[in-house]
Structure 1
Amino acid sequence: MEVFVFDLDFTIWNAGDTFCSETSPPYFWNDEQLFDQQGRWIRLYPDSVGILKRLKKAGKILAVASRTNEPEWAKQLLQLFDIEKYFDIMEIYPGSKVTHLKNIQEKVGCPFDQIVFFDDEERNIQEVSLTGVKCVYVKNGLSFNYTSLKKGHYKKGLKNIKQKIGYFQTNNIKSERPGKSFLRF
Protein backbone atom coordinates (compact mmCIF):
# COMPACT_ATOMS: atom_id res chain seq x y z
CA MET A 1 0.00 0.00 0.00
CA GLU A 2 1.43 3.33 -1.06
CA VAL A 3 -1.25 5.90 -0.27
CA PHE A 4 -3.22 6.30 2.95
CA VAL A 5 -6.28 8.55 2.90
CA PHE A 6 -8.11 9.75 6.00
CA ASP A 7 -11.48 11.30 6.66
CA LEU A 8 -11.39 13.97 9.40
CA ASP A 9 -14.60 14.12 11.49
CA PHE A 10 -14.91 11.08 13.76
CA THR A 11 -11.84 9.49 12.14
CA ILE A 12 -8.90 11.81 12.93
CA TRP A 13 -10.73 14.04 15.41
CA ASN A 14 -13.91 14.44 17.41
CA ALA A 15 -15.37 17.96 17.25
CA GLY A 16 -17.46 17.87 20.41
CA ASP A 17 -19.52 14.94 19.13
CA THR A 18 -20.49 16.84 15.99
CA PHE A 19 -18.98 17.67 12.60
CA CYS A 20 -16.45 20.49 12.31
CA SER A 21 -18.92 22.31 10.05
CA GLU A 22 -21.27 22.51 13.07
CA THR A 23 -18.68 24.11 15.35
CA SER A 24 -18.33 27.84 16.03
CA PRO A 25 -14.96 29.38 15.21
CA PRO A 26 -12.78 31.11 16.03
CA TYR A 27 -11.20 28.27 17.97
CA PHE A 28 -9.08 28.77 21.07
CA TRP A 29 -6.74 26.78 23.28
CA ASN A 30 -7.38 26.52 27.02
CA ASP A 31 -5.29 24.24 29.23
CA GLU A 32 -3.94 22.37 26.21
CA GLN A 33 -7.45 21.66 24.94
CA LEU A 34 -9.03 23.17 21.85
CA PHE A 35 -12.52 24.69 22.05
CA ASP A 36 -14.95 26.50 19.79
CA GLN A 37 -16.84 29.68 20.77
CA GLN A 38 -19.68 27.66 22.29
CA GLY A 39 -17.28 25.87 24.60
CA ARG A 40 -17.34 22.56 22.71
CA TRP A 41 -14.07 20.67 22.92
CA ILE A 42 -12.36 19.44 19.78
CA ARG A 43 -9.87 16.59 20.21
CA LEU A 44 -7.65 14.40 18.13
CA TYR A 45 -8.16 10.72 18.77
CA PRO A 46 -5.24 9.54 20.92
CA ASP A 47 -3.48 7.44 18.24
CA SER A 48 -4.03 9.80 15.28
CA VAL A 49 -0.70 11.63 15.46
CA GLY A 50 1.30 8.45 16.09
CA ILE A 51 -0.23 6.73 13.07
CA LEU A 52 0.36 9.73 10.81
CA LYS A 53 3.98 10.04 12.00
CA ARG A 54 4.76 6.37 11.41
CA LEU A 55 3.25 6.31 7.95
CA LYS A 56 5.03 9.52 6.97
CA LYS A 57 8.34 8.23 8.33
CA ALA A 58 7.87 5.09 6.21
CA GLY A 59 7.65 7.29 3.11
CA LYS A 60 3.98 6.75 2.42
CA ILE A 61 1.78 9.36 0.75
CA LEU A 62 -0.89 10.68 3.11
CA ALA A 63 -4.05 12.47 2.07
CA VAL A 64 -7.23 13.94 3.55
CA ALA A 65 -10.66 13.32 2.04
CA SER A 66 -13.30 15.38 3.82
CA ARG A 67 -16.75 16.30 2.58
CA THR A 68 -17.26 19.13 5.07
CA ASN A 69 -19.35 22.14 4.16
CA GLU A 70 -16.77 24.36 5.87
CA PRO A 71 -13.40 23.54 4.26
CA GLU A 72 -11.64 26.55 5.78
CA TRP A 73 -12.66 25.49 9.28
CA ALA A 74 -11.28 22.00 8.68
CA LYS A 75 -8.01 23.51 7.42
CA GLN A 76 -7.83 25.72 10.52
CA LEU A 77 -8.20 22.66 12.74
CA LEU A 78 -5.47 20.81 10.82
CA GLN A 79 -3.19 23.81 11.44
CA LEU A 80 -4.15 24.24 15.09
CA PHE A 81 -3.50 20.57 15.79
CA ASP A 82 -0.22 20.85 13.83
CA ILE A 83 -1.00 17.84 11.67
CA GLU A 84 -1.31 19.46 8.25
CA LYS A 85 2.43 18.82 7.81
CA TYR A 86 1.77 15.09 7.48
CA PHE A 87 -0.55 15.39 4.49
CA ASP A 88 0.68 15.58 0.91
CA ILE A 89 -2.78 16.06 -0.59
CA MET A 90 -5.92 17.61 0.86
CA GLU A 91 -9.28 17.14 -0.82
CA ILE A 92 -11.60 19.11 1.47
CA TYR A 93 -14.94 20.17 0.00
CA PRO A 94 -18.58 19.02 -0.09
CA GLY A 95 -19.48 16.13 -2.35
CA SER A 96 -18.96 12.43 -2.87
CA LYS A 97 -15.86 10.82 -1.40
CA VAL A 98 -15.52 9.00 -4.72
CA THR A 99 -14.63 12.36 -6.30
CA HIS A 100 -12.11 13.01 -3.52
CA LEU A 101 -10.45 9.61 -4.02
CA LYS A 102 -10.40 9.90 -7.81
CA ASN A 103 -8.68 13.29 -7.53
CA ILE A 104 -6.14 11.85 -5.09
CA GLN A 105 -5.51 8.87 -7.37
CA GLU A 106 -4.94 11.17 -10.35
CA LYS A 107 -2.50 13.32 -8.38
CA VAL A 108 -0.39 10.38 -7.16
CA GLY A 109 -0.72 8.28 -10.30
CA CYS A 110 -0.98 4.91 -8.60
CA PRO A 111 -3.66 2.25 -9.08
CA PHE A 112 -6.72 2.43 -6.83
CA ASP A 113 -5.78 -0.89 -5.23
CA GLN A 114 -2.65 0.74 -3.77
CA ILE A 115 -4.79 3.19 -1.77
CA VAL A 116 -6.18 2.56 1.73
CA PHE A 117 -9.05 4.79 2.87
CA PHE A 118 -10.13 5.21 6.51
CA ASP A 119 -13.61 6.61 7.22
CA ASP A 120 -16.30 6.38 9.89
CA GLU A 121 -19.30 6.45 7.54
CA GLU A 122 -20.46 3.24 5.90
CA ARG A 123 -21.94 5.07 2.92
CA ASN A 124 -18.50 6.50 2.11
CA ILE A 125 -16.87 3.11 2.56
CA GLN A 126 -19.40 1.42 0.31
CA GLU A 127 -19.18 4.03 -2.46
CA VAL A 128 -15.39 4.30 -2.45
CA SER A 129 -14.91 0.51 -2.35
CA LEU A 130 -16.46 0.35 -5.83
CA THR A 131 -13.35 2.09 -7.22
CA GLY A 132 -11.04 -0.69 -5.99
CA VAL A 133 -9.68 1.37 -3.09
CA LYS A 134 -9.11 -0.71 0.06
CA CYS A 135 -11.50 0.75 2.63
CA VAL A 136 -11.33 0.54 6.42
CA TYR A 137 -14.46 1.31 8.41
CA VAL A 138 -13.34 3.20 11.52
CA LYS A 139 -15.62 3.18 14.53
CA ASN A 140 -14.82 5.43 17.51
CA GLY A 141 -11.82 7.12 15.89
CA LEU A 142 -8.60 6.05 14.26
CA SER A 143 -6.49 3.84 16.50
CA PHE A 144 -3.65 1.37 16.36
CA ASN A 145 -6.30 -1.34 16.67
CA TYR A 146 -7.23 -0.61 13.05
CA THR A 147 -3.73 -0.26 11.66
CA SER A 148 -1.38 -2.39 13.77
CA LEU A 149 1.29 0.22 13.06
CA LYS A 150 2.63 0.42 16.60
CA LYS A 151 6.22 1.51 17.06
CA GLY A 152 8.60 -0.95 15.47
CA HIS A 153 5.82 -2.92 13.81
CA TYR A 154 5.24 -0.98 10.59
CA LYS A 155 5.84 -3.88 8.18
CA LYS A 156 3.87 -6.24 10.38
CA GLY A 157 1.06 -3.66 10.45
CA LEU A 158 0.93 -3.43 6.67
CA LYS A 159 0.95 -7.22 6.49
CA ASN A 160 -1.95 -7.22 8.96
CA ILE A 161 -3.93 -4.79 6.78
CA LYS A 162 -3.21 -6.91 3.68
CA GLN A 163 -4.21 -10.11 5.51
CA LYS A 164 -7.49 -8.55 6.60
CA ILE A 165 -8.15 -7.37 3.06
CA GLY A 166 -7.38 -10.88 1.82
CA TYR A 167 -9.59 -12.47 4.47
CA PHE A 168 -12.57 -10.35 3.50
CA GLN A 169 -12.04 -11.02 -0.20
CA THR A 170 -11.39 -14.76 0.23
CA ASN A 171 -14.44 -15.24 2.44
CA ASN A 172 -16.63 -13.21 0.13
CA ILE A 173 -17.51 -10.68 2.83
CA LYS A 174 -18.86 -7.80 0.80
CA SER A 175 -20.54 -4.48 0.92
CA GLU A 176 -24.24 -4.33 0.17
CA ARG A 177 -23.26 -3.58 -3.41
CA PRO A 178 -22.51 -6.77 -5.32
CA GLY A 179 -18.95 -7.65 -6.19
CA LYS A 180 -17.09 -5.21 -3.97
CA SER A 181 -15.56 -6.01 -0.61
CA PHE A 182 -14.67 -3.62 2.17
CA LEU A 183 -13.05 -3.93 5.55
CA ARG A 184 -14.76 -3.66 8.88
CA PHE A 185 -12.60 -4.35 11.91
Structure 2
Amino acid sequence: MRDAFRIIKSFPSLPRLVVVDLDYTLWPFYCHSRSEHDYAELYPQAREILLALHEMGIGVAIASRTPTPNIARAFLLKLGLGSIFIAKEMFPSRSPKTEHFERIHRRTMVPYNQMLFFDDEKRNIDAVHLDASDDIILTLCYIFFVDEHFSTYFSIRSASIPSPTKLEYELP
Protein backbone atom coordinates (compact mmCIF):
# COMPACT_ATOMS: atom_id res chain seq x y z
CA MET A 1 0.00 0.00 0.00
CA ARG A 2 3.07 2.23 0.29
CA ASP A 3 3.17 2.79 -3.50
CA ALA A 4 -0.42 4.02 -3.51
CA PHE A 5 0.26 6.36 -0.57
CA ARG A 6 3.37 7.74 -2.27
CA ILE A 7 1.60 8.31 -5.58
CA ILE A 8 -1.51 9.86 -4.04
CA LYS A 9 0.52 12.15 -1.76
CA SER A 10 2.53 13.37 -4.76
CA PHE A 11 -0.48 15.31 -6.10
CA PRO A 12 -0.57 18.96 -4.99
CA SER A 13 -4.27 18.83 -4.12
CA LEU A 14 -6.55 15.92 -3.43
CA PRO A 15 -10.30 15.49 -3.77
CA ARG A 16 -12.53 15.01 -0.74
CA LEU A 17 -14.37 12.20 -2.50
CA VAL A 18 -13.35 9.67 -5.15
CA VAL A 19 -16.28 8.14 -7.06
CA VAL A 20 -15.69 4.89 -8.95
CA ASP A 21 -17.59 2.74 -11.38
CA LEU A 22 -17.44 -1.03 -10.81
CA ASP A 23 -17.54 -3.10 -14.02
CA TYR A 24 -14.24 -2.86 -15.90
CA THR A 25 -13.08 -0.10 -13.54
CA LEU A 26 -12.56 -1.96 -10.25
CA TRP A 27 -12.92 -5.48 -11.58
CA PRO A 28 -12.38 -7.10 -15.01
CA PHE A 29 -15.93 -8.28 -15.73
CA TYR A 30 -19.60 -7.30 -15.82
CA CYS A 31 -21.51 -8.22 -12.64
CA HIS A 32 -24.55 -9.21 -14.65
CA SER A 33 -22.54 -11.95 -16.38
CA ARG A 34 -21.78 -13.62 -13.04
CA SER A 35 -23.58 -15.17 -10.10
CA GLU A 36 -23.23 -13.82 -6.58
CA HIS A 37 -21.71 -17.22 -5.72
CA ASP A 38 -18.83 -16.75 -8.20
CA TYR A 39 -15.30 -15.78 -7.26
CA ALA A 40 -14.76 -12.02 -7.17
CA GLU A 41 -11.47 -10.39 -8.15
CA LEU A 42 -10.21 -6.84 -8.53
CA TYR A 43 -7.75 -5.31 -10.94
CA PRO A 44 -4.32 -5.72 -9.31
CA GLN A 45 -3.86 -2.13 -8.07
CA ALA A 46 -7.49 -1.41 -7.17
CA ARG A 47 -7.46 -2.72 -3.57
CA GLU A 48 -4.25 -0.88 -2.69
CA ILE A 49 -5.55 2.40 -4.11
CA LEU A 50 -8.98 2.12 -2.44
CA LEU A 51 -7.47 1.28 0.95
CA ALA A 52 -4.89 4.08 0.68
CA LEU A 53 -7.62 6.62 -0.14
CA HIS A 54 -9.70 5.37 2.78
CA GLU A 55 -6.78 5.48 5.23
CA MET A 56 -5.86 9.00 4.07
CA GLY A 57 -9.37 10.17 4.95
CA ILE A 58 -10.50 10.62 1.35
CA GLY A 59 -14.07 9.41 0.93
CA VAL A 60 -14.80 6.72 -1.64
CA ALA A 61 -18.19 6.20 -3.32
CA ILE A 62 -19.66 4.02 -6.07
CA ALA A 63 -21.63 5.17 -9.12
CA SER A 64 -22.66 2.09 -11.11
CA ARG A 65 -25.48 1.44 -13.57
CA THR A 66 -25.30 -2.30 -12.98
CA PRO A 67 -28.56 -4.16 -13.59
CA THR A 68 -27.54 -6.55 -10.78
CA PRO A 69 -26.72 -4.47 -7.69
CA ASN A 70 -27.23 -7.54 -5.47
CA ILE A 71 -24.29 -9.26 -7.21
CA ALA A 72 -22.16 -6.12 -6.95
CA ARG A 73 -22.88 -5.89 -3.20
CA ALA A 74 -22.05 -9.59 -2.75
CA PHE A 75 -18.71 -9.12 -4.54
CA LEU A 76 -17.82 -6.05 -2.46
CA LEU A 77 -18.50 -8.04 0.72
CA LYS A 78 -16.47 -11.03 -0.51
CA LEU A 79 -13.59 -8.69 -1.29
CA GLY A 80 -13.79 -7.10 2.17
CA LEU A 81 -14.48 -3.67 0.69
CA GLY A 82 -18.14 -3.14 1.54
CA SER A 83 -17.48 -0.88 4.52
CA ILE A 84 -15.01 1.57 2.93
CA PHE A 85 -17.58 3.19 0.62
CA ILE A 86 -19.47 6.12 2.14
CA ALA A 87 -22.08 6.01 -0.64
CA LYS A 88 -23.07 3.15 -2.93
CA GLU A 89 -25.29 4.24 -5.79
CA MET A 90 -25.78 1.03 -7.75
CA PHE A 91 -28.92 0.85 -9.82
CA PRO A 92 -29.84 0.21 -13.45
CA SER A 93 -30.37 3.34 -15.46
CA ARG A 94 -30.57 4.27 -19.11
CA SER A 95 -29.70 7.86 -18.27
CA PRO A 96 -26.19 9.12 -17.62
CA LYS A 97 -24.74 8.87 -14.15
CA THR A 98 -25.84 12.37 -13.21
CA GLU A 99 -28.61 10.87 -11.06
CA HIS A 100 -26.01 8.76 -9.26
CA PHE A 101 -23.97 11.90 -8.57
CA GLU A 102 -26.97 13.85 -7.33
CA ARG A 103 -27.68 11.09 -4.81
CA ILE A 104 -24.01 10.88 -3.78
CA HIS A 105 -23.90 14.64 -3.30
CA ARG A 106 -27.08 14.63 -1.18
CA ARG A 107 -25.75 11.78 0.95
CA THR A 108 -22.20 13.10 1.45
CA MET A 109 -22.68 16.87 1.10
CA VAL A 110 -19.33 16.96 -0.72
CA PRO A 111 -19.36 19.71 -3.36
CA TYR A 112 -19.12 18.43 -6.93
CA ASN A 113 -15.91 20.35 -7.52
CA GLN A 114 -14.26 18.30 -4.76
CA MET A 115 -15.11 14.94 -6.34
CA LEU A 116 -12.95 12.80 -8.62
CA PHE A 117 -14.75 10.31 -10.92
CA PHE A 118 -13.19 7.14 -12.37
CA ASP A 119 -15.01 5.21 -15.10
CA ASP A 120 -13.96 2.92 -17.94
CA GLU A 121 -16.56 4.29 -20.36
CA LYS A 122 -15.81 7.64 -21.91
CA ARG A 123 -19.51 8.15 -22.66
CA ASN A 124 -20.25 8.17 -18.91
CA ILE A 125 -17.56 10.76 -18.33
CA ASP A 126 -18.82 12.90 -21.21
CA ALA A 127 -22.47 12.53 -20.18
CA VAL A 128 -21.85 13.57 -16.60
CA HIS A 129 -19.94 16.62 -17.82
CA LEU A 130 -22.45 17.56 -20.52
CA ASP A 131 -25.41 17.25 -18.18
CA ALA A 132 -23.71 19.23 -15.43
CA SER A 133 -24.98 22.72 -14.81
CA ASP A 134 -22.48 25.53 -14.28
CA ASP A 135 -22.40 24.92 -10.54
CA ILE A 136 -21.87 21.18 -10.95
CA ILE A 137 -18.24 20.88 -11.96
CA LEU A 138 -16.61 17.50 -11.56
CA THR A 139 -13.07 16.34 -12.01
CA LEU A 140 -13.43 13.44 -14.41
CA CYS A 141 -11.10 10.57 -15.17
CA TYR A 142 -11.25 8.00 -17.92
CA ILE A 143 -9.32 4.81 -17.21
CA PHE A 144 -7.81 2.54 -19.83
CA PHE A 145 -6.61 -0.85 -18.57
CA VAL A 146 -3.61 -2.26 -20.37
CA ASP A 147 -1.69 -5.39 -19.35
CA GLU A 148 -2.90 -5.25 -15.74
CA HIS A 149 -1.62 -1.69 -15.35
CA PHE A 150 -3.69 1.36 -15.98
CA SER A 151 -3.14 4.69 -17.57
CA THR A 152 -5.44 7.43 -16.43
CA TYR A 153 -6.37 10.31 -18.64
CA PHE A 154 -7.56 13.22 -16.53
CA SER A 155 -9.99 15.65 -18.11
CA ILE A 156 -10.07 18.51 -15.67
CA ARG A 157 -12.89 20.97 -16.20
CA SER A 158 -13.38 23.95 -13.97
CA ALA A 159 -14.11 27.65 -14.24
CA SER A 160 -10.42 28.46 -14.05
CA ILE A 161 -9.40 26.01 -16.78
CA PRO A 162 -11.36 26.82 -19.96
CA SER A 163 -10.34 23.74 -21.93
CA PRO A 164 -9.67 20.17 -20.79
CA THR A 165 -6.17 19.39 -19.62
CA LYS A 166 -4.85 15.93 -20.40
CA LEU A 167 -2.37 14.21 -18.10
CA GLU A 168 -1.14 10.68 -18.53
CA TYR A 169 -0.01 8.57 -15.62
CA GLU A 170 0.88 4.90 -15.52
CA LEU A 171 1.32 2.87 -12.35
CA PRO A 172 4.39 0.61 -12.18
Contact 2:35 2:71 in 1 (8 A): no
- 1:144, distance to aligned residue in structure 2 (A): 6.9
**Aligned pairs for 1:67-78 within 5 A:** 67-78=65-76
Task: Indicate which of 140, 143, 148 corresponds to 1:138.
Answer: 143
Instruction: Give ranges in structure 2 of 5+ residues lacking alignment.
Output: 1-14
Q: Take 1:57 and 1:143, find their aligned partners in 2: how far apart are those partners?
A: 22
Structure having the higher Rg: 1
Contact 1:136 1:184 in 2 (8 A): no
Give the aligned partner of residue 63 of structure 1.
61
Contact 1:51 1:144 in 2 (8 A): no
Give the aligned partner of residue 22 of structure 1.
33
Give the aligned partner of residue 90 of structure 1.
88
Instruction: Give ranges in structure 1 of 5+ residues lacking alignment.
Output: 28-33, 35-41, 148-160, 174-180
Q: Take 1:67 and 1:5, find their aligned partners in 2: how far apart are those partners?
A: 13
**Between structures 1 and 2, the one with greater strand share:** 2
Q: Deviations over 1:39-98 (max 9, x none)?
A: xxx521011011111111111111011100011001001111111122111000011311
Contact 1:56 1:62 in 2 (8 A): yes
TM-score normalized by structure 1?
Answer: 0.69
Root-mean-square deviation (Å): 2.7
Give the aligned partner of residue 31 of structure 1.
none
Q: Take 1:60 and 1:68, find their aligned partners in 2: how far apart are those partners?
A: 24
Corresponding position: 1:124 with 2:124: yes
Runs of 4+ in 1 over 6 A off after TM superposition: none
Aligned residues: 145
Percent of matched pairs sharing the same residue? 31
- 1:143, distance to aligned residue in structure 2 (A): 5.7
**Between structures 1 and 2, the one with greater helix share:** 1
